């Protein structure tokens, strides 16, 4: 079965380098990613653009729009990008110019969607600062991918990253597709409800565990931990709207595949590991057609 990894990173972010070195043990380079993809049958990855202007600054209010995968240029055929948005600069006097740069980048067939770092940046997703971004998503028919749940930085603010904030957004922009990252963890039941209620909301299952295989084994063998996610998946009962992603380099790809295989009932594996991504991301389908997949 071919696999699409809808959520990885390939940007020069000090906390990702540190996690790769100390926790997950992956080789955080384009070559390292390609090797893991090849070994695991991953045919395409979508990277979440993010940049920091100095080591450790993430979430960086100074990073210019759009934020990219700056460890890889140009992107190899097996990778696409969601352009990262920094709302602080969008709201600044440079905002108009940066919006033009986002629009320019969205015209590239390397781009699969738009990524918002809710919580990391202290704006609600319904804030007017993002309105022109949603218009661009509509215009280019690309999904808006939204960080939800715990932030991988103590400088995030959780009230902005709670999955319930996306309910009103989805209501306001019914013709834009939204994907909640990390199933809103730890608010997975709230995320499940937002997915089940709103026809234009999907979720990815990335980043639910961070670390190497021994660390994963410990959690995978803890029923309370696994049931925390299973309850939300069973409640939503929308395996056609859940997408596989790893949040690499936060975890090795093969370990994460095993983890999601255990969470999701087998009859839904084709959907979750491959087909749902094509429904949410039309440009992923176009890219795969070109690659002959
Ligand atoms: Zn991520």
Q: What is the pLDDT of residues 203-242, one digit of tens each?
A: 999 999 999 999 999 999 999 999 999 999 999 999 999 9
- Both tokens of residue 196? 């089940």
Overall domain count for the chain: 1
CA of 22 to the centre of ligand 1 (A): 17
What is the per-residue pLDDT across 15-25, written as a single tens digit (0 to 9) for each? 999 999 999 99
What is the per-residue pLDDT across 116-150, written as a single tens digit (0 to 9) for each? 999 999 999 999 999 999 999 999 999 999 999 99
Q: Give, in degrees to the nearest 5, the angle at Cα 213 between 17 and 222.
A: 120
Query: In the chain, which residues have pLDDT < 70?
Result: none
CATH number of the domain that 129 lies in? 3.20.20.140
CA of 265 to the centre of ligand 1 (A): 24
CA of 253 to the centre of ligand 1 (A): 14
Average pLDDT, the chain: 97
pTM recorded for the entire structure: 0.97
Structure confidence at residue 119 (pLDDT): 98
Structure confidence at residue 167 (pLDDT): 98
For residues 11 and 67, the answer to whether their CB atoms sit within 8 Å is yes
CA of 8 to the centre of ligand 1 (A): 6
Q: Look up the domain containing 23 and give its range.
A: 3-290
Structure confidence at residue 227 (pLDDT): 98
Structure confidence at residue 21 (pLDDT): 98
CA of 151 to the centre of ligand 1 (A): 10
CA of 237 to the centre of ligand 1 (A): 24
Q: Which residues pair with 199 in a beta bridge?
A: none
Half-sphere exposure of 107 (CA within 13 A, CB side): 5
């Amino acid at each position: 079965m071919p696999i699409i990894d809808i959520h990885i990173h390939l940007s020069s972010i000090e906390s990702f380098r540190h996690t790769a070195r100390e926790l997950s043990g992956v080789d955080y380079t384009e070559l390292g990613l390609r090797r893991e993809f090849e070994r695991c049958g991953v045919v395409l990855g979508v990277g979440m653009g993010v940049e920091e202007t100095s080591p450790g600054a993430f979430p960086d209010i100074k990073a210019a729009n759009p934020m990219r995968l700056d460890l890889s240029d140009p992107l190899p055929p097996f990778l696409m990008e969601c352009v990262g948005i920094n709302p602080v600069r969008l709201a600044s006097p440079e905002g108009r110019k940066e919006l033009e740069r986002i629009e320019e980048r969205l015209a590239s067939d390397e781009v699969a969607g738009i990524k918002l770092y809710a919580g990391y940046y202290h704006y609600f997703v319904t804030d007017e600062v993002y309105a022109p971004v949603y218009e661009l998503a509509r215009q280019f028919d690309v999904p808006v991918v939204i960080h939800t749940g715990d932030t991988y930085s103590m400088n995030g603010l959780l009230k902005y990253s709670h999955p319930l904030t996306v309910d009103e957004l989805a209501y306001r922009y019914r013709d834009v597709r939204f994907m909640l990252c990390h199933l809103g963890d730890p608010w997975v039941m709230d995320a499940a409800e937002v997915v089940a209620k709103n026809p234009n909301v999907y979720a990815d299952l990335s980043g639910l565990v961070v670390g190497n295989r021994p660390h994963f084994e410990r959690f995978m063998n803890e029923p309370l931990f696994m049931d925390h996610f299973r309850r939300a998946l069973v409640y939503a009962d929308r395996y056609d709207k859940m997408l596989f992603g790893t949040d690499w380099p936060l975890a090795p790809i093969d370990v994460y595949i095993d983890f999601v295989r255990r969470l999701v009932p087998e009859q839904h594996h084709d959907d979750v590991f491959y087909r749902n991504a094509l429904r949410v991301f039309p440009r992923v389908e176009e890219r795969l057609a070109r690659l002959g997949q």
